[in-house]
Amino acid sequence: MNRTLPFLLTFIVGFTIVIATFSPPLDRLAVDTAVFFSIIAVFAMILGGGNLVKINLVKITRRQRDWQFAIVTLVGFFFVLIIGLFKVGNPGGVTGQVDAPGTPFFDVYTYVFVPVGATMYSLLAFFIASASYRAFRAKNREATILLIAASIIMLGATPFGTMLTAWIPDSLDIFEVPNLHFFLMSSPNLAGQRAIMIGIALGVISYSLRVLLGVERSHIGKDGG
């Protein structure tokens, strides 16, 4: 019973959305179900926040390794939560837009969230350089194709690439680096992406059907409460 009712819920909700696509009178139900989904997703975010607090509190109380940094996480978390939920310093008050420019919440986004996020990603530029060294060694035919494609793509996106083949006459301009870049992106790359997308779609479609028909029930958990 503990697994049957959740499975029925999955079945009914999933097939309501599928059937609503083919049946306009049910369209409203599908729209409402999608809104219900976004509301529950917010509760999932709250659950994530609660879990973060729980884990960090345990870390602090048990004096686990690097427990001092758990305090930093909690201070950052509660600071942003308070200024965001209560719209502290928002010129529009509680009815104002939460991320309006000039509010402390906006400042946290601009001067903490964005710099750290962007720097974390830019840090990957250094690691990707060493990865390139390993990936771009022309060990065999496939690796050579990868190397040539990546080099043309990178060169084609820079002024240096344009300069390199600017001498080629117009009648042979297909061999200019920017044009080769465009060709690679719009033909073989498109074909490869499309093959991958079709493969993924087949996987998602079959997995969705397995879930809706109850063949796959791991998300419901084990019996016994």
Instruction: Return the residues of window 62-91 that contact another protein according to CB under 8 A.
Output: 66, 68-70, 72-81, 84-85
Contact 84, 95 (CB under 8 A): no
Residue 54 touches another protein, criterion: CB under 8 A: yes
Q: CB nearer to another protein: give 37 or 163.
A: 37
Binding test (CB under 8 A) with another protein, winner from 23, 27, 49, 100: 49
Q: Coil, strand, or helix at residue 167?
A: coil
How many positions of this chain bind another protein (CB under 8 A)? 137
In the bound complex, what is the minimum distance in angstroms from residue 117's beta carbon to another protein?
7
Q: How far is the CB of 203 from another protein (least distance, A)?
A: 9
Contacts for 67 with CB less than 8 Å, ≥ 6 apart: 59, 60
Task: Answer whether 210's CB lies under 8 Å from 216's CB.
Answer: yes
Q: Residue 175 is inside which H or E element, if any? A: none
Other C-beta atoms closer than 10 Å to the C-beta of 56 total: 19
Helix (H, G, I), strand (E, B) or coil at 209: helix
Q: Does 101 bind another protein (CB under 8 A)?
A: no
**Is residue 128 part of the contact set for another protein (CB under 8 A)?**
yes
Give the list of residues 6+ apart from residue 59 with CB closer than 8 angstroms, or none: 66, 67, 70
The candidate with the shortest Cα–Cα distance to 18, out of 163, 10, 40, is 10
* Eight-state DSSP code of residue 171: G
- Binding flag, residue 109, another protein (CB under 8 A): yes
The binder of another protein chosen from 57, 58, 88, 204 (CB under 8 A): 204
Q: Which CB sits closer to another protein, 8 or 163?
A: 8
When asked if residue 23 is in the footprint of another protein (CB under 8 A), the reply is: no
Restricting to residues 143-182, name those near another protein by CB under 8 A.
Answer: 143, 145-154, 157, 170-176, 179, 182
**Binding flag, residue 6, another protein (CB under 8 A):** yes
